[in-house]
Amino acid sequence: MKVIESAKKMQSYSESLRRQGKKIAFVPTMGYFHDGHLCLMKEAKKMADCVVVSIYVNPTQFGPQEDLSQYPRDFDRDLRMAESVNADVIFYPSNKEMYPAGYQTYVDVEKVTQNLCGISRPGHFRGVTTVCNKLFNIVKPHIAVFGKKDFQQFISIKRMVDDLNMDLQIIGLPTVRETDGLAMSSRNKYLQKNERPSALTLSKSLKLAQKLYSGGEKKSAVIISKVEKLIKRAPYTKIDYIKICSTKTLKDVNEVNGQSVIAMAVKVGTTRLIDNHVFGDKLNV
């Protein structure tokens, strides 16, 4: 496995692969891998000749009050894990490499970034789309693979790629969950033992929402209210939002259908967790 730290070197390596007619799949990450990341890498491997994984904790997507400095990092562990699933290249740039002095360009996806996490995390998606734009230009992949746990991120990046005519395919893969149903996240590390049962109410509530929908309930307000009750009953929980939106526009909808997603952000203790479910999709809980 190759580790590349320079953007120019990564770019010329990818360009040489392309000239050889090789297909490149890209998995952008902030590191501290879990099975969700490995699953993305394994799927990427099936689709391409070369899998490039970036490890970069991108400062521009963190708010001033957020967990940038304490975000978990373990590069050596990440390397071993990526190697175990036969990733080919790790792109591991520094902040100076990504945002040198004088840096001043940002990519804004205006509408789908407004609702949900866009409300409580202003500037977050601007940071995400900007860094992904840069990474796509550096890695030059044919395919980039994202987990759907970050559903709004996935939709925003797809929108950016379409709008800016970027020549790559964005693929979203289902959320990978712990055996108890908790959506995998590097931030799960922050959870205290006694908070874990409360953290499980997110996936449980998605199961409840799907059950209500399958049972004929189509009113968003009714589903949201029951989901909210379930989560509020658990200790240490503080709901940021629970919403049902169009999967295309991410605007709230009153009536649920197969193109609707229920998405939520809940603080459990000091840990902010997100989860979501597209109605009608398979839910591995």
Binding residues for a copy of itself, rule: CB under 8 A, are: 7, 11, 15, 18-19, 21, 103-112, 129-130, 133-134, 137-138, 140, 159-160, 163-167
**Which is the catalytic residue, given 34, 37, 124, 142?**
37
By C-beta, is 76 or 167 nearer to a copy of itself? 167
- Burial string for 138-151 (b: 16+ CB within 10 Å, else e) reads bbbbbbbbbbbbbb
Nearest distance from residue 4's CB to a copy of itself, in Å?
Answer: 13
Nearest distance from residue 270's CB to a copy of itself, in Å?
Answer: 33
Tokens for 210? 């799907």
By C-beta, is 11 or 188 nearer to a copy of itself? 11
**18 burial class (0-12, 13-18, 19+ CB within 10 angstroms)?**
middle
Residue 211: closest CA among 200, 197, 222 = 222
Nearest distance from residue 94's CB to a copy of itself, in Å?
Answer: 14
Provide the angle, in degrees to the nearest 10, between the axes of the packed helices 220-233 and 196-214: 160
By C-beta, is 49 or 228 nearer to a copy of itself? 49
What sign has the CA pseudo-torsion 65, 69, 32, 127? positive
How far does Cα 227 stand from its chain's mean position? 23
- The count of other CB atoms within 10 Å of the CB of residue 95 is 13
Instruction: For residue 95, give the amino acid letter.
Output: N
Nearest distance from residue 197's CB to a copy of itself, in Å?
Answer: 40
Cross-strand bridge partners of residue 29 = 55
34 tagged catalytic: no
By C-beta, is 137 or 284 nearer to a copy of itself? 137
Active site residues: 37
